[in-house]
Amino acid sequence: MIVACSGANELAKKVAKLKNLEVMEVESYKFPDGEVYVRLPKQELPEDVIVMQNFYPNQNDKLVEFILACDSACDYGVKRIKAIFPYFAYARQDKRFKEGEAISIKAIAKILKEFNVKEIITIDVHFHRKEGEFDFFGVKGYNIAATDLLIDYVKRNYCKDFVTVAPDIGQAKALGKAEYFEKERISGDEIIMKKRDIDVEGKNVLVIDDMISTGGTMIEACKLVKKIGAKKIFAACTHGLFLRNSYEKLKEIVDDVIATDTIQSEASKVSVASLIAKYLCNTNNDL
Ligand code: R5P
């Protein structure tokens, strides 16, 4: 059974259809003062369930909703929860950069353990830039890479020949094989993208990143690729938050903007449902 929290309803239905699983949609709403109400419509639950939630937009509310749903499920006999977080918020603060900072993912891991979460499955999570298992502060984790889906989309819909470019070395390593720029983040808002000796003049280019948040990184990378003389330019990411009209700004620069449906937007042209279903098929479980 998949217990679908409000952020992941649509994706949960797609995964459930592919895996022939039952979906139970969590009833949730916000009280006038902002507190979150949660109810599970069915109370006869198996010992093993999947609970799916997506943490954007309103990550704090979505986190509380997820915790309350898990707590209620545990009260009704659930012993083991597989959590699926297509977009995993709070995953970017995995280190203490300044004394006194909270390591947000560590705090989240502590909460998850408390509510019988035994495994986390996520997509292109920021702190673990490769496909495969990871240890999430004592909870088993698995990161699924969605980049091949984005690459295939461009091949099927636009062209077979293109150069893949990453906006920074971190993303280049995640992709395995890609040209890349040197990115310097001056502040949350300001980015300097430095050209390296990359050969994209007259070529089609796919610029690919794990996420587009404010869009600063992707916009600067696409502008640079254009300046070098690229032919067609495609901007793609797994998680499209598209803050500050960055989708519209990108559309003015590139030929297409492509994202997955980990976060639903106009750019969600590729679904990660098959990747999640495939992972669930390959793992031994009675869900
Ligand atoms: C950073 O390392 C990430 O891979 C993304 O490049 C970054 O989070 C994108 O953020 P923004 O869209 O705000 O530049």
CATH number of the structural domain spanning residue 128: 3.40.50.2020
**Residue 134: what pLDDT?**
93
Atom of ligand 1 at shortest range from CA of 171: 4
Q: Ligand 1 centroid to 245 CA: how many Å?
A: 15
Residues with catalytic roles: 183
The CB-side HSE value for 114 (13 A sphere, CA atoms) comes to: 12
**Residue 104: what pLDDT?**
94
Same domain, 21 and 37: yes
Same domain, 139 and 13: yes
Same domain, 126 and 163: no
Same domain, 7 and 136: yes
**CB within 6 Å of ligand 1 — which residues?**
167, 170-171, 209-218
Atom of ligand 1 at shortest range from CA of 214: 13
Residue 56 lies in a domain: yes
Residue 42 lies in a domain: yes
Query: Which amino acid is located at 130 in the chain?
Result: K
- Both tokens assigned to 52: 């799916």
Q: In this structure, are residues 217 and 183 in contact, taking their beta carbons and an 8 Å threshold? A: yes
196 alpha-carbon distance from chain centroid: 28
Q: In this structure, are residues 24 and 40 in contact, taking their beta carbons and an 8 Å threshold? A: yes
Query: Which amino acid is located at 106 in the chain?
Result: K
**Residue 187: what pLDDT?**
78
The bridge status of strand 179-180 relative to strand 163-166 is parallel
**Residue 226: what pLDDT?**
96
Q: Ligand 1 centroid to 180 CA: how many Å?
A: 14
**Residue 185: what pLDDT?**
83
Q: What Cα–Cα distance (Å) separates residue 13 from each residue in 35, 109, 168, 273, 276?
A: 27, 26, 35, 9, 12
**Residue 124: what pLDDT?**
96
pLDDT in tens, the chain (287 residues): 999 999 999 999 999 999 999 999 999 999 999 999 999 999 999 999 999 999 999 999 999 999 999 999 999 999 999 999 999 999 888 889 999 999 999 999 999 999 999 999 999 998 888 899 999 999 999 999 999 999 999 999 999 999 999 999 989 988 888 888 988 888 777 889 987 888 899 999 999 999 999 999 999 999 999 999 999 999 999 999 999 999 999 999 999 999 999 999 999 999 999 999 999 987 755 55
Q: How many helices (H) and strands (E) does the chain have?
A: 8, 17
pTM of the model: 0.93
Q: Which among 211, 219, 263 is the best mutation to test ligand 1's pocket, defined by most ligand atoms within 8 Å of the CB?
A: 211
Q: What is the span of the domain harbouring residue 195? A: 147-270
Q: Ligand 1 centroid to 283 CA: how many Å?
A: 31
Q: In this structure, are residues 226 and 252 in contact, taking their beta carbons and an 8 Å threshold? A: no
Same domain, 11 and 92: yes
Q: In this structure, are residues 257 and 247 in contact, taking their beta carbons and an 8 Å threshold? A: yes
Residue 133 lies in a domain: yes
Measuring from atom 2 of ligand 1, which residue has the nearest CA? 170
Residue 287 lies in a domain: no
Same domain, 138 and 153: no
Q: What Cα–Cα distance (Å) separates residue 20 from each residue in 23, 66, 80, 287?
A: 9, 23, 20, 10
**Phi, psi dihedrals of residue 106, rounded to the nearest 5°:** -70, -40
Residue 119 lies in a domain: yes
Mark residue 245 as left, alpha or beta (left: phi above 0; alpha: psi -120 to 50; beta: remaining). Answer: left
Same domain, 183 and 129: no
Residue 26 lies in a domain: yes
Give the chain's domain count: 2
Same domain, 190 and 220: yes
Same domain, 192 and 118: no
**Residue 20: what pLDDT?**
94
Atom of ligand 1 at shortest range from CA of 213: 12
Q: Ligand 1 centroid to 114 CA: how many Å?
A: 31
Residue 248 lies in a domain: yes
Same domain, 23 and 34: yes
Atom of ligand 1 at shortest range from CA of 170: 2
d(CA 82, CA 2): 9
Same domain, 14 and 128: yes
Residue 98 lies in a domain: yes
Q: In this structure, are residues 223 and 168 in contact, taking their beta carbons and an 8 Å threshold? A: no
- Both tokens assigned to 67: 């915790």
d(CA 185, CA 166): 15
**Residue 285: what pLDDT?**
57
Same domain, 21 and 79: yes
d(CA 13, CA 24): 9
Q: Ligand 1 centroid to 243 CA: how many Å?
A: 11
Measuring from atom 13 of ligand 1, which residue has the nearest CA? 214
Q: In this structure, are residues 180 and 168 in contact, taking their beta carbons and an 8 Å threshold? A: yes
